Amino acid sequence: MYARRAFGDWVGFGIGWNDWIAYATSLSYISIGMSEFLGKLAPPVAGHVRPVAVVLLVGFVVLQWAGVRVSSWFQSWTTALKCLAFLALVVVGLVMSGGTSGPAPAAASASLTLPGLVIALQAVVTTFGGWQSALYFTEEDRDPVRNLPRAMIGGVLVVIVIYMLVNLAFLVILPISELSASKLPAADAAQVIVGDRGRQIILILSILSLLPLLNAIMMVGTRILFALGRDRLFWSRAAGVSTRGTPGVATLVTTLVAIALIATGTFEQLIAMTTVFLALNYAVCCLALFALRRREPATVRPFRAWGYAGRGHAPGAGRPSPPLVGR
């Protein structure tokens, strides 16, 4: 909405589709990731990563078809369980490690390279990607002016705190040399603490952490396509909603595209595609914020931010425009 309002229909059209495909690619690589974790727990699955990924994705489609209340309930409980599990991992790791990480390794030379920087930034973007996802549910929120800032700011703060604590635990348990070479640092850290069974525990925790993520991305992606259909930027039938609140056609189309991506792309390719789409979307929306601030100084803005005081913000500085709240 912001890009379209700031720069016109063509930019709005492009960003809308860019936003949707970013969530479709996210669905595909997360499904593949879950399948790979299952393959490490159950070796027979390892040879069928893509088919299992499709089955997992379809399972979440069934959950969506059960209705908004069911998927929202699932989202709330699995997210809470995931946060508690990660915090338990941190506490156990710090307590049982005794605050030491073993002998210090020899210093290793390291150099900053452009490919390394890009890969690191991809990890950061995918880690915090979705911080703005509460925006997509404002039409379903009875009090978005109150709840939206809490969801967005609170969500980012929670992610920062949990990731900092988890990384602190890893640094205490594992030497830097092992941590930098590990593909599953959480599993390696747990193995140091509780033995071979710790690796299985972390794999289960990893799968658990992806459950609410996949569910949330499915909910967001279908709502983007729903909005495109309602704005006549896609087939109007995509704006249809079932009696249980599920955008049926949007869910079907999003699922089919995600399945096609699972069948044709690798985990690394899909995550790289997602970061490009997300970066473009963030950049245009940030530019739209500045454009709308200058063009519509009297627009009602329920949210205030430190250090952000635009021209003409005072009430009565022109004819008020519709509030900038929503997707």
pLDDT digits (tens, 9 = 90+) for 210-228: 888 888 888 888 888 888 8
Q: 261 falls in which pLDDT band (50, 70, 90)?
A: very high
CATH of the domain at 167: 1.20.1740.10
Q: What mean pLDDT is predicted for residues 225-237? A: 83
| Per-residue pLDDT at 97 | 63
The closest of 45, 81, 47 to 213, measured between CA atoms, is: 81
Range name among 56-60, 138-142, 156-160, 228-232 with the lowest pLDDT average: 138-142
Determine, yes or no, domain membership for 126: no
Domain count, the chain: 1
| Per-residue pLDDT at 325 | 46
* pTM of the full structure: 0.77
List the domain range (segments joined by +) for residue 89. Answer: 18-98+132-269
Determine, yes or no, domain membership for 8: no
Please provide residue 270's backbone torsions phi and psi, each rounded to the nearest 5 degrees.
-70, -40
CA dihedral 85, 86, 92, 97 (to 10 degrees): 150
Share of the chain above pLDDT 70, in %: 86
Determine, yes or no, domain membership for 92: yes
Determine, yes or no, domain membership for 45: yes
The closest of 76, 77, 64 to 27, measured between CA atoms, is: 64
Instruction: Tell me the pLDDT tens digit for each residue of 174-212.
Output: 887 777 777 777 777 777 777 777 778 878 888 888 888
| Per-residue pLDDT at 312 | 41
Instruction: Tell me the pLDDT tens digit for each residue of 85-127.
Output: 888 878 877 776 654 444 444 444 456 788 777 777 777 777 7
Who contacts 274 (Cβ-Cβ below 8 Å, separation ≥6)?
Answer: 22, 25, 26, 29, 126, 129
Determine, yes or no, domain membership for 105: no
Paired residues of 305 in beta bridges: 308
Determine, yes or no, domain membership for 179: yes
| Residue ranges in the chain assigned as alpha helix (H) | 2-7, 9-41, 43-46, 49-65, 68-97, 114-128, 144-173, 176-181, 185-194, 196-230, 248-264, 267-295
Rounded to the nearest integer, the mean pLDDT of the chain is: 79
In contact, 169 and 186? CB cutoff 8 Å: no
Determine, yes or no, domain membership for 313: no
Determine, yes or no, domain membership for 327: no
